[in-house]
A and B are shown apart, each in its own frame.
Chain A
Amino acid sequence: METQKTALYEYHRSLGAKFVPFAGYEMPVQYSSGIVNEHKLTRSSAGMFDVSHMGQLSIEGNEELAIELEKIIPIDLSQIKLNQSKYSFLTNEDGGIHDDLIVTKVEKGFNIILNAACKNNDFKIINDALKNKFKITLHKNLSLIALQGPKSSQILEKIISGVSSLKFMNGNKFYFNGEDIYITRSGYTGEDGFEISISNELAEDLAKKLISQNVKPIGLGARDTLRLEAGLCLYGHDINKSTNPIEANLKWAISKRRREEGGFVGYEKIKSDLNGSLSRLRVGIKPEGKIIAREGVKVFSDDDNEIGSITSGTFGPSVNRPIAMGYVKLNFSKPGTKVFLEVRGKKHEAKISELPFYKKSYVR
């Protein structure tokens, strides 16, 4: 398959981006100042992320659509308010996760943001589930630009009037260069911020306006360190087809009613986990020294039994220490529990930690 480029590809190049292939796209991994600077700048000011590789799906329909979608997405889609966003996932028959997503109720139906690597498969799953009864579009003509960081609101307000009044996990239609665009207050960094859905034609105009307001472009490298500090899952690593939402510590993303009533794909398989017979749990892990434990590193108990493995690990620039996430057996999941991480044949002490590693500052 030929590598795709987003509408901002040439603009990234002009900004000094280094590119890597990611989910079939050539994406900026970093710019000239480097990942650590980009990370810190997002925490202290505002950074711009091109996330146009992600899937932007819209489905048109009303109450009947909500009922159908609830069979594959375990939240109360009939109850969700206009312009409200919710984090959830597409579950599979084993109770695992096909993809995690953000769904927003809009006037015509629902908008869903999907992971780039999963979006085509998600489209099939959703389309099959809806049996061609609703108009469903995976938009190829839309870009998605995230603006993240404590100064995001004051900066974006100067360009698009009214955005600063959005509440976190809410969206609305706005106007930019004569075009209707849809903006949600959301993100993947643990900071306040926005995700702006805009036509490919206008994406560069908006990006240039942001850069002219002293916003810095941020690559996928810092996106990963930011989300890991914020304790957020990366699909394909921390969650996947064989991790269920309960052991992934994402029970909160299944609404209370759905946890009790079920009625979604895979519910029977996770029911017992919901009732407390969980065998493993996703946790934060802090190595004691400087050692970085990456995906695949085995976790051992104090008495040297293998109890789990790391799913993501890096150095967290804002917490100034190595951090990791992974799955451990339930009785070792309590914060403060001493564990050992086997890196390059040596065991290194670590402690189970609360998540997030970095305290967020969302606007509620």
Chain B
Amino acid sequence: MSEKKYSKQHEWITIEGDVATVGITAHAAEMLGDVVFVELPEKGKNVEKEGQAGVVESTKAASDVYTPITGEITDINQSIVDDPGAVNKDPEGAAWFFKIKIKNKSELDQLMNKADYDKFAKENPN
């Protein structure tokens, strides 16, 4: 598996071959607070880089989830829809959101590595 990358919308992404796995960062999960609702895109849907690809809600508010890259949704993690609290427990592991077939590999170059993201998250807490 490749190095994990991060978006400015607080998503993480890992790549295996031509499919990427996307979730929200631990920082984003902490900022949201207790996650009580997750809505995921439909399998087979084509999404555009930085386009909306899901919703996550805490007791306080609803937030959109964005896709860091363009592509087709190939799989979704039904377990976080059934148990939204899992997003707070393991946001960067078991609580991934969706898998996406990569359309344009060059989009990955525009994402941040962990050190850059940590710095970004500190400067842009929300």
Interface residues of chain A, those whose CB is within 8 Å of chain B, are 29-30, 34-36, 39, 221, 224-225, 290-292, 294, 314-315, 317, 322, 344
Per-position binary interface string of chain B over residues 102-115, scored 1 when its CB falls under 8 Å from any chain A CB and 0 otherwise? 00000000000000
8 Å CB contacts to A: which residues of B1-57? 33-34, 36-37, 39, 55, 57
In the docked arrangement, what's the CA distance between A314 and B81, Å?
16
Q: In this complex, what residue of A is CB-closest to B60?
A: A221
Asked whether B55 lies within 8 Å of A290 as measured between CB atoms, the reply is: no
Asked whether A317 lies within 8 Å of B37 as measured between CB atoms, the reply is: no
Q: Report if A29-B37 is in contact (Cβ < 8 Å); known contacts: A290-B84, A344-B55.
A: no
Of B37, B55, B58, B59, chain A has the most CB atoms within 10 Å of the CB of: B59
Asked whether A35 lies within 8 Å of B37 as measured between CB atoms, the reply is: no
Asked whether A291 lies within 8 Å of B37 as measured between CB atoms, the reply is: yes
Q: Does B62 touch A at the CB level, under 8 Å? A: yes
Asked whether B57 lies within 8 Å of A292 as measured between CB atoms, the reply is: yes
Contacts of A344 in B (CB 8 A): 39, 55
Asked whether A35 lies within 8 Å of B57 as measured between CB atoms, the reply is: no
Asked whether B60 lies within 8 Å of A292 as measured between CB atoms, the reply is: no
Asked whether B37 lies within 8 Å of A290 as measured between CB atoms, the reply is: yes
Q: Report if A34-B34 is in contact (Cβ < 8 Å); known contacts: A290-B84, A292-B57, A344-B55.
A: yes
Complex A-B: 21 CB contacts under 8 Å: A29-B60, A34-B33, A34-B34, A35-B60, A36-B59, A39-B59, A225-B59, A290-B37, A290-B81, A290-B84, A291-B37, A292-B36, A292-B37, A292-B62, A314-B36, A314-B59, A314-B60, A315-B59, A317-B59, A322-B37, A344-B55
The size bracket of the interface on B is 10 to 19
8 Å CB contacts to A: which residues of B56-89? 57-62, 81, 84-85, 88
Asked whether B36 lies within 8 Å of A315 as measured between CB atoms, the reply is: yes
Asked whether B62 lies within 8 Å of A35 as measured between CB atoms, the reply is: no
Contacts of A39 in B (CB 8 A): 59
Nearest CB of A to B30, in Å = 9
Contacts of B88 in A (CB 8 A): 34
In the docked arrangement, what's the CA distance between A315 and B85, Å?
12
Of A36, A291, A344, chain B has the most CB atoms within 10 Å of the CB of: A36
Asked whether A35 lies within 8 Å of B84 as measured between CB atoms, the reply is: no
Nearest CB of B to A30, in Å = 6
Nearest CB of B to A291, in Å = 7
In the docked arrangement, what's the CA distance between A322 and B84, Å?
13
In the docked arrangement, what's the CA distance between A30 and B81, Å?
25
In the docked arrangement, what's the CA distance between A30 and B34, Å?
11
In the docked arrangement, what's the CA distance between A225 and B57, Å?
14
Checking B37, B39, B81 against A315 with a beta-carbon cut-off of 8 angstroms, the contacting residue is: B37
